[in-house]
Structure 1
Amino acid sequence: MTRWSGVTGAERVHVVRALLARPLLHRRGVHTRTVEMARTHQTELQAWFEHHLGWQLRVERDRVRLFKAPGNVRRQGSDAPTARQCALFCLVLAVLEDCGAQTVISELAEKIEVVSRTHPSLRRFDATVSRERRDLVLMVRLLCRLRVLVSTLDTVVTQEDEQDYIRGIGDALYDVDHRTAALMLSTSVSPSLTTGPQELLIATGTDRMISEGRALHHAVMRRLVDDPVVYFDDLPSDQREYFLGHMQELIQALRAGLGARVEVRAEGAAIVDEELTDLEFPKTSAASFAALVLAERLFHEVVDAPDRTGWIGTTRLLELSSEVAADLAKTMTTINQKPVDGEHTWQAAAPILIGLDLICEVPGGILIRPALARFRDPSGRGPRTEKPGLMLFGLDDLQTSPTDDPTLEEPSDDILT
């Protein structure tokens, strides 16, 4: 496709980035100018998303909706909703069809309760349970951020009302944007007509009719724009072969369309961009801090090893966790409500490191993934807690680039926002 450049190209890149970060944009609020740009460049943007990702883009006067399907359903951020919350999110959208121009949380709860009772495959919603009310409020707030529901009162007052509902002593009132609600479903097939979850990942009806090569192009590009790091070993063999055989085309498309830096190494590829793909460590618990400190120890363990295989055995892993625990015990007495020792420190830190795809469990120990190097501290003052301005794969002497092609240099300034 034609390379974007100049002011026109910068505007298109701005819209692409905005939609990848937030697939539903509304004219009201901070996205007013972005929606206007999307309308101006509608044809070119629709062609770019369809050609490279197989995703449909709908541009309306007040809304822009990118109907995207994930390339990798395993990835979840630390703040991802639980399975129960996701179910409630979908149920709220379903019952909103029967609501008028306004609704209150208690009405939504009543309707969800009825639906869950009449469908035996659904777990029953019980509005008398505080946990259930809290999860419902969290999903209502998410729908407010998406502007499906709009607070009719002052924000502070509405939040107080939501807390009153959780406590069982109040309610909260919202306007319903039925048009935005109708745009939430991003599959071409109704969920009730599918035989399983995998069918919901088909973004458009044309996916079944495109060539095998185009389908591979879409699959690889979806992984690249969704995941912080794409490791070649994680890709199916056909996708891995396609990436290696079409690397220049893929990287040029990413850099031109996203205005982002792309790093390619022997192990895989990553878009190095804090707004689009970077994930931060969670910072709200002793477990998250333990994971961050342990990440630093694990990195240096690999760097200092003669073979640098990235494998650390169970015995050594417990020793490193015990060293971390000894440091943590100076400032905290418990971790996940358990004593701060090596075993409990590892049990608390492991899910976070695995969830961020920085390590993976293998027989007899763990395998360090290259992206863990991004959280090291070259100064020796301790692990990084913010998004570092480093290459995601870390040290040059640990990983080597599979190509010296000059076309993989930094993009020109004329396509950056």
Structure 2
Amino acid sequence: MLRQQIHSVEDDPELFGLAAAHQREVAAWFDHTVGWRFEVYRSEGLCRLYKRRADPPSDRGPVVRRKSGEVPASPLVLVLASLICEQLWRSTQATFNDLQRAVVQACGTEAELGRLPRFRPVADAGEKQATAGAHRRAFIDALLLLESWRVIASDVALDQLEQDQGLDLVITARRERLALLTASVAPSLLDIDIDRPDTHAAALCADQQDLPEDAPVKAQERRRRHLAMRAVLDDPGVVPDPATEAGKYLSSYTGRERALNAAAAAGLVCTVRRDWWSVSDPNGRSTDLTFPAGRSLEQHGALLLLDAIVGRNEPMDWFGIEWASSQLRRELAERPWWARRYQGPGGERSLAEAGIQQLLSAGIVSADPPPGSGWRPTPAVHLWQVRVSHATSAAKAATLSGVTDGRESLDD
């Protein structure tokens, strides 16, 4: 449930049966440990973990499962998924083209006010085809995301929309499951400013806000426990800073033992230092993160950057995109047979950005405000050693080996 919060009986009948049989125990564990709600909807064949945080991580989101592989859903994809649900709530069946036109119309007026993104999947005269293609791809991704949650179905595989621009198909939604996608009270029922999206997460998670100073001791203890456990179960790393509520809880003997037990129950492994908790998932059951075990060029680039970061005189110093690009520019120049798609102009910067995103997801670096201006390594860098084996011929790519605390390795 930590990896994918929505499970249907169609995906895994055995898992759904276990969730239904042990609903009370599972719900009690999540409620006590992290303050999240777990529900099983037997009539709809759906179970869901309502995983809410007042401080949602901005670098994570649902994963879209394309035929070519998995990609994180972009903000545009998430907005389009919501708009698609709105249209299908009105009419549970529509063709792809009709649904796309309805979303274009919905975005038309609101985009002028800055409340919705511009969405133009069909290029008009004088407009770039690349932008229209990207918008169409995002719309298909939104449909794939909803399909993976078993909320919609189509009479033809959605992946075929990528190859056939003229293809039209029928999409059918299950209204009861659409209703279950709502994770909180409708924003229209809350006292929020629609033009200030930065305040919405706090309003939707009002139960997680700071308690008054005269709140009961048990309530304060429960809040600290929930904050700490959410960080341990949901983040790749945690700073046990006693000045913070979560850090204060993890710094205590009781809090540390409870957090370690909760992580073990969830199948996670914690490496604890005085200044850092590193949380990993050896079995990959609770996260989509594959670093460092992935074999992509982007993960190789991340390991090369990690090697450069650790090799500096001051590994914890801030760095910017220019420094990261220069490190990979040298690697690309020395190995012209490696990472061919990044060998062109500006390729080193694109690879650096992708590699840094991998390091961000793994908790090895953190964004240094303002976002995108630079990054600062976390204490997690002290748990890593990277060995780069140079290829003996131009026909072989470099072999990268990443070792985490002497226990995890990657050989490619």
Which category of TM-score, normalised to the shorter sequence, fits these structures? 0.7 to 0.9
How far did 1:394 drift?
8.3
Where relative contact order (Cα < 8 A, 6+ residues apart) is larger, the structure is 1
Q: Does 1:59 align with 2:40?
A: yes
2:305: which partner in 1?
294
* Ranges in structure 2 where 5+ consecutive residues have no aligned partner: 64-70, 123-131, 391-398
CA contact (8 A) 1:328 1:340 kept: no
Aligned residues: 358
Q: CA deviation at 1:347?
A: 6.3
Deviations 1:314-336 (A, max 9, x none): 89878755542432335466737
Q: Which residue in the other structure is 2:106 paired with?
A: 115
2:52 is equivalent to residue 69 of structure 1: yes
* Corresponding residue number in structure 2 for 1:270: 278
1:34 counterpart = 2:25: no
- 3-state SS of 2:81 partner: helix
TM-score in terms of structure 2 length: 0.72
> 3-state SS of the aligned residue for 1:73?
coil
2:187 equivalent to 1:190: yes
Counterpart of 2:365, as a letter, is I
CA-CA distance at 1:126 after TM superposition: 2.6
User: How high is the TM-score relative to the length of structure 1?
Assistant: 0.71
Q: 1:316 to 1:161 in 2, by over 3 A?
A: closer
Q: CA deviation at 1:271?
A: 2.9
Post-superposition offset of 1:287: 5.5
Please report how far the alpha carbon of residue 152 of structure 1 lies from its aligned counterpart in structure 2 after TM superposition.
2.8
> 1:227 aligns to what?
235
Specify the alignment match of 2:133 in structure 1. 130
Distance 2:120 2:330 in 1: 46
Q: How does 1:4-403 map to 2 (within 5 A)?
A: 19-29=1-11, 31-61=12-42, 62-70=45-53, 72-76=56-60, 79-100=71-92, 102-119=93-110, 120=113, 121-128=115-122, 129-153=132-156, 155=157, 158-161=158-161, 163-164=163-164, 167=165, 169-190=166-187, 193=190, 194-195=192-193, 196-200=197-201, 207=208, 211-232=219-240, 237-245=244-252, 246-256=255-265, 258-273=266-281, 274-277=284-287, 279-281=289-291, 289-299=300-310, 301=311, 310-311=316-317, 320-321=327-328, 323-331=330-338, 335=342, 337-338=344-345, 349-350=355-356, 352-354=358-360, 356-360=362-366, 367-372=376-381, 376-377=385-386, 382-384=399-401, 390-391=404-405
Per the alignment, in what secondary structure is the counterpart of residue 86 of structure 1? helix
Distance 2:355 2:205 in 1: 39
Compute the displacement of 1:224 (Å): 1.4
Kindly state the Cα deviation for residue 149 of structure 1 after the two structures are TM-superposed: 0.9
C-alpha distance in 2 between matches for 1:351 and 1:226: 17
State the 1:230 CA deviation: 1.7
359-368 or 181-190, which deviates more: 359-368
Which structure 1 segments of 5+ residues have no match? 1-18, 396-417
Q: What do residues 291-316 of structure 1 show as CA deviations (whole Å, max 9, x unaligned)?
A: 332323333x15xx5xx653377898
Q: Percent identical across equivalent pairs?
A: 20
Alpha-carbon contact 1:325-1:345 (below 8 Å) kept: no
Which deviations, in whole Å up to 9, do the C-alpha atoms of 1:127-167 show, x marking residues without a partner? 423332221011101111111112334x4xx4224542xx2
Higher helix share: 1
Aligned to 1:399: none
SS in 2 for 1:280: coil
The amino acid that maps onto 1:232 is P
1:113 to 1:322, Cα distance in 2 relative to 1, 3 A: closer
Q: Cα distance 1:84–1:392, how it changes in 2: closer, same or farther (>3 A)?
A: farther
Q: Which amino acid aligns with 2:316?
A: G
Amino acid at match of 1:310: M
Letter in 1 for 2:304: V
Amino acid at match of 2:59: R
Shift of 1:350: 4.4
C-alpha distance in structure 1 between counterparts of 2:49 and 2:189, whole Å:
22
Tell me which amino acid in the other structure corresponds to 2:106: V
**Shift of residue 346 of structure 1?**
5.2
Tell me how far 1:201 sits from its aligned partner.
Answer: 5.5
Q: Is the 8 A contact 1:232 1:240 kept in 2?
A: yes
Q: Match of 1:88, SS?
A: helix
1:39 Cα deviation from its structure 2 partner: 1.1
Q: 2 CA distance for matches of 1:214 and 1:392?
A: 35
- Checking the alignment, whether the CA contact within 8 Å between 2:119 and 2:135 is kept in structure 1 is yes
Q: How far 1:22 sits from its partner (Å)? A: 1.0
Is the 2:152–2:174 contact (alpha carbons within 8 Å) kept by the matching residues of 1? yes
Are the counterparts in 1 of residues 364 and 381 from structure 2 also a CA contact under 8 Å? yes
Q: How far is the alpha carbon of 1:206 from its aligned partner?
A: 5.1
Output one character per residue of 1:207-238: Cα deviation in whole Å (capped at 9) or x when no partner. 568923222222221121111122336x9722
CA distance in 2, matches of 1:97, 1:313: 47
Equivalent in the alignment of 1:398: none
Go from structure 1 to structure 2 and tell me whether the alpha carbon gap of 1:171 and 1:372 turns closer, same or farther (over 3 Å shift): farther
Residues 227 and 245, structure 2, Cα contact 8 Å, conserved in 1: no
